[in-house]
Amino acid sequence: MNLSIESVSKKYARSQWGLRNLQLELRPGVLGLLGPNGAGKSTLMRILATVTRATEGRVLWNEIDIAKSPDPLRSVLGYLPQDFGVYPHLTAVEFLEYLAAAKGLDARTARQRIDDLLDVVNLAEARNRPLGRFSGGMKQRVGIAQALLNDPELLIVDEPTAGLDPEERVRFRNLLSELSGERIVILSTHIVSDIEAVATDIAVLNSGLLLAHAAPEEMLRTVEGKVWDLLVASGDLPSLRRRFQISSSVRRSDGVQIRVVSAEKPADAAVPAAPSLEDAYLHCISLHRGSVAA
């Protein structure tokens, strides 16, 4: 299976572009889609899910243009949008049965699939409870289940771990890892640790532009020798933030332990640190903002 994104752009207003000339070639595995709010991640996912059309360019699913012939993709698509909603008076089982019928699953297959998925998302005991009484995290797990109903070949999930507690987040990461071998999974999130745990490839978007598309190891190599640990006084922190990219800070009794991403050593006391994917992501975004400002 193959998903080709060819020079895709999306225009919302006379001068407002959600995406500009995006090129990606995807095969089975997990693509981690990273970017700040407004980067174009959700716009891209809506185009791939055939919810909206690109203004320019095209998307091919196994060489078929999804704008001209969406049904071959829709039949094998699982989609969890960021603004996923439920019918509050239906139970979890009733809601999933309704969506299974909409996806063309026969009743017997649907029942077995729903039972299995409710176990996977840890909702078996709440299966007959109205969705209006579910917490936000439980509703999100129902959303994950509905995206998997038809055992999709292309799974698109937008901020899937929002509202999940740490244990549920780990469970979902493990599920994505298990699913990724036989399908294309696109995971959009601002939580870098989710991407770090499961992604086989990473794409970084900002202001509608694709800044990077690489394996996690390649992303990490971009910041080799550019990450530093440094203990500073609280009063020195604002000045350092203006001069350097600080990826994290932890307050201690003797000051603030900071992590700096910089090609130059930020201070004599700074010591080299092993780079993380978050360091690489912030460095990539920072370079883009610097080039725009220049």
Residue 230 has pLDDT above 80, yes or no: yes
pLDDT one-digit tens code per residue, 88-140: 999 999 999 999 999 999 999 999 999 999 998 989 999 999 999 998 889 98
> Mind giving me the DSSP string for 181-200?
GGSEEEEE-S-HHHHHHH-S
Q: Which residue has the higher pLDDT, 258 or 1?
A: 258
> Mind giving me the DSSP string for 123-164?
-GGGTTSBGGGS-HHHHHHHHHHHHTTT--SEEEEESTTTT-
| Contact criterion met (CB below 8 Å) for 202 and 213 | yes
Residue 160 has pLDDT above 90, yes or no: no
> Who's near 255: CB < 8 A, 6+ residues apart?
231, 232, 233, 234
pLDDT at 40: 92
Range list of H helices, the chain? 41-48, 71-74, 92-102, 107-120, 136-147, 166-179, 192-198, 216-221, 237-243, 277-293
Scanning the structure block, which residue is given the tokens 């999306």?
10
Predicted TM-score (pTM) of this structure:
0.89
Confidence of residue 161 (pLDDT cuts 50, 70, 90): confident
226 alpha-carbon distance from chain centroid: 26
pLDDT at 220: 95
pLDDT at 212: 95
pLDDT at 291: 59
pLDDT at 1: 87
Residue 73 has pLDDT above 90, yes or no: yes
pLDDT at 125: 94
CB atoms within 10 A of CB 19: 26
Residue 294 has pLDDT above 60, yes or no: no
Q: What is the DSSP letter of 105?
A: -
In a 10 Å sphere around its CB, with 0-12 CB exposed, 13-18 middle and 19+ buried, how is residue 269 labelled? exposed
Residue 256 has pLDDT above 80, yes or no: yes
The two structure tokens encoding residue 144: 């994950």
Q: Among 138-142, 187-191, 217-221, which stretch is predicted with the lowest mean pLDDT?
A: 187-191
pLDDT at 172: 83
| Contact criterion met (CB below 8 Å) for 106 and 132 | no
pLDDT one-digit tens code per residue, 3-47: 999 999 999 887 789 999 999 999 999 999 999 888 999 999 999
pLDDT at 32: 95
Q: How many residues comprise the chain? A: 294
Kindly report the average pLDDT of the chain as a whole number: 91
Q: What is the dihedral of CA 246, 250, 255, 261, to 10 degrees?
A: -20
**Which amino acid belongs to residue 165?**
D
